Structure 1
Amino acid sequence: MNEVLERLELARDAVFQLVERWRGAPTQSPIVPGGNVAGTALIIVIAIMTFLACLTFGGVSLVRDSAAAWQSQISKEATIQIKPVEGEDMEALLARAAKIAEGFAGVTSARIVDRDATARLLEPWLGSGLDIEELPVPRLVVVSIDEESPPDFDILRAELVRSVPGASFDDHRTWVDRLVSMARTTVLIGMSVLALVIAATVLTVIFATRGAMAGNDHIIEVLHFIGAEARFVAREFERHFFRTAFKGALCGGGVAVLVFLMVSWWSSRNLATPEADQAAALFGNFAIGRGGYLGVAIIILLVSILTMITTRLTVITQLKEMDSRGSESS
């Protein structure tokens, strides 16, 4: 009995304080108490969700930028590959192929890939210290193309095959088109994952709001039925949850930015290694750029505002259900 009386007294004091607050007088007791265990857990959940959302957005930005670079390379470069032919001097064949390519209108330059560069290209598969003279390794000539008026690739290919033994011409269009298609698919998957993360965050906020209302149900009912508008009650909740979401989103976004900075720093420190070269070929230098960091800031604000809106709509819906139950019981 004493325990029931104590709970009634606490509810009465809380209602009196909230009534004073509703009337405009300052009070120290909000409807939703801050710093409780549920609030801390919600901050952690929102931080994790924001971290995942920022990582997904950053990855999508990297892949999108790489896809744009690949598309640009289609019209800028082509490759002449020359396989070793018995009785032929490889260096002479390379020089002849470069000269033929430079003679075509639309070709700005032809650069022979030297032995060291060739060995470095093969290092991820064949290891370091490779002597390409001991193996029948094809050699390459990189042909730079005028984007405005490219040459006739079919005629250039036919001339190279006719004049240079072991030569073949690749304009990279088939492979790069496949890579670009793969990148676009990856971007689509990334955006879907981002949408799922945001949806999960919204559902978490809805459950947290309902839990907070359930924990203060007796106070909210009394305050609501003595005349407090739904907007007043919803405003109390949305303020609390906006602050909670902003703290969590700021932590999650900050950790994501730190991850991107560390990966970019690692990439810049390992530019001369084969692993970094392969990674840079796919993702650039891992720098998401100004647009990426702006996107992280937008995600932080979006999560906070979306949490506030979700909380407001949840509270108003719950209060309407409360009114419906009251009407049915009467």
Structure 2
Amino acid sequence: MIDAPQPRPDEEEGFERPAPPERAPRKTAPIVPAQNIAGRALVVVIAIMTFLSCVTFGAVTLVRDTASVWENQISREATIQIKPTEGLDMEIALATAAGLAAEFDGVKGTRIIDSAATMRLLEPWLGSGFDIGQLPVPRLIIVTINEDSPPDFKDMREAITTAVPSATLDDHRTWVDRLVAMAHTTVTIGIAVLGLMLSATVMTVVFATRGAMAGNGHIIEVLHFVGAEAQFIARQFRTRFLFTGMKGAAAGGVAAIVVFILFSWWSSRNMATPQGDQAAALFGNFAIGSAGYLGVLMMVIIIGALTAATSHATVVAYLSDLEGGQTDGG
């Protein structure tokens, strides 16, 4: 006699069969692996180019602002210089020249540089403790003029030299115009150098993008042939390169800001020394101001966006060539 089959445990009444364990969702690997392009080399190159670009931009800003100050000084002040000659009473000559200059329309005031101030001007070259009365040192008069309605310098020069033959009037236009022209040339050269640095950054990104595509060429071709749009593939590269570019650009921008802060600190520490005074006379206090720091931030954003846009354009051009080759082959 054959026994009837016994029911399985899971078929008994009231027994529920356990559900199979749920599978964890599979993580999709990115088309452009991070380790292929976001390596240290590319980040360091972008950081170096950003640092040099920001420093160049800061230097251009500093020179441009200094040139603007020089131009404003032309319209604010003039100088009367009186050379000591035999039989000349210097104090009377200074008072006479200052009084004549003050009579002209467009002159706000005059100020005679006294002996103590003249000695301080000569200390970087002659040291301290010398007797200025024993040296044939010219004396100066600062003439403050109206910027909107300057005086007639020709008539003023003739009146002063007639009353004091050893006096000369210098409106600073000749040497300041030369300095301003030199500053403008420096700004033009700085802009050209900045353009070259950005071009070098673009070329670096192009080579890096082509290297990334060469390492993932089979994946790109398969995706392209099965119908993936070029914009989708290019977007993957653009996103990855945007992250890489912003990381390198941020590092370079921060390094440039640190350099500017250090220069400004050094300038403030050496303000009372002859070296610091000479540097301040030429370049100010080495502070680029809020506009300069805003320009550094814009430079970081531009380089990051330029990196992403360059990689996008390179991928689109590569896929266009791929489609052209497929059409020619067909």
**1:302–1:275 CA distance, 2 compared to 1 (3 A):** same
SS at 1:175's partner residue? helix
Flag the structure with higher helix content.
Answer: 1
Range 25-34 or range 175-184, more displaced? 25-34
- What amino acid is aligned across from residue 313 of structure 2 in structure 1? L
2:257 is aligned to 257
The reply to whether residue 59 of structure 1 matches residue 59 of structure 2 is yes
How far, CA to CA, are the matches of 1:133 and 1:251 in structure 2? Answer: 58
How far, CA to CA, are the matches of 1:73 and 1:154 in structure 2? Answer: 19
Deviation of 1:77 after TM superposition, in Å, equals 0.4
1:179-231: CA deviations, max 9, x gaps?
A: 11111111111111111111111111001100110011111111211111111
How far, CA to CA, are the matches of 1:287 and 1:168 in structure 2? Answer: 35
**1:128–1:316 CA distance, 2 compared to 1 (3 A):** farther
1:194 is aligned to 194
**Aligned residues of 1:238 and 1:312 also touching (Cα < 8 A):** yes
How many residue pairs were aligned? Answer: 306
Question: TM-score if structure 2 supplies the norm length?
Answer: 0.87
1:277 is aligned to 277
- Give unpaired runs (5+ residues) of structure 1: 1-24
Alignment map for 1:75-224 (pairs within 5 Å): 75-127=75-127, 129-224=129-224
Deviation of 1:119 after TM superposition, in Å, equals 3.0
Deviation of 1:113 after TM superposition, in Å, equals 1.7
Question: TM-score if structure 1 supplies the norm length?
Answer: 0.87
Deviation of 1:325 after TM superposition, in Å, equals 2.5
**1:151–1:246 CA distance, 2 compared to 1 (3 A):** same
1:279-316: CA deviations, max 9, x gaps?
A: 22222221111111111111111001111111100001
- What amino acid is aligned across from residue 119 of structure 2 in structure 1? A
- What amino acid is aligned across from residue 329 of structure 1 in structure 2? G
- What amino acid is aligned across from residue 120 of structure 1 in structure 2? R
**Aligned residues of 1:80 and 1:168 also touching (Cα < 8 A):** yes
1:247-285: CA deviations, max 9, x gaps?
A: 010010111111111111111222112222222222222
**Aligned residues of 2:38 and 2:244 also touching (Cα < 8 A):** no
Deviation of 1:33 after TM superposition, in Å, equals 2.1
How far, CA to CA, are the matches of 1:53 and 1:219 in structure 2? Answer: 36
- What amino acid is aligned across from residue 266 of structure 2 in structure 1? W
The reply to whether residue 291 of structure 1 matches residue 288 of structure 2 is no
**Aligned residues of 1:85 and 1:165 also touching (Cα < 8 A):** no
How far, CA to CA, are the matches of 2:245 and 2:134 in structure 1? Answer: 63
2:74 is aligned to 74
Deviation of 1:126 after TM superposition, in Å, equals 4.0
- What amino acid is aligned across from residue 57 of structure 1 in structure 2? F
**1:131–1:205 CA distance, 2 compared to 1 (3 A):** farther
Seq. identity, %: 60
The reply to whether residue 268 of structure 1 matches residue 250 of structure 2 is no
Structure showing greater radius of gyration is 2
**1:318–1:130 CA distance, 2 compared to 1 (3 A):** farther
- What amino acid is aligned across from residue 62 of structure 2 in structure 1? L
1:127-175: CA deviations, max 9, x gaps?
A: 5555433321211111000122222111111111111241101111111
- What amino acid is aligned across from residue 141 of structure 2 in structure 1? V
How far, CA to CA, are the matches of 1:121 and 1:150 in structure 2? Answer: 28
**1:37–1:147 CA distance, 2 compared to 1 (3 A):** closer
Deviation of 1:38 after TM superposition, in Å, equals 6.2
SS at 2:34's partner residue? coil
**Aligned residues of 1:84 and 1:166 also touching (Cα < 8 A):** yes
**1:131–1:263 CA distance, 2 compared to 1 (3 A):** farther
**Aligned residues of 2:113 and 2:139 also touching (Cα < 8 A):** yes
Range 77-86 or range 175-184, more displaced? 175-184
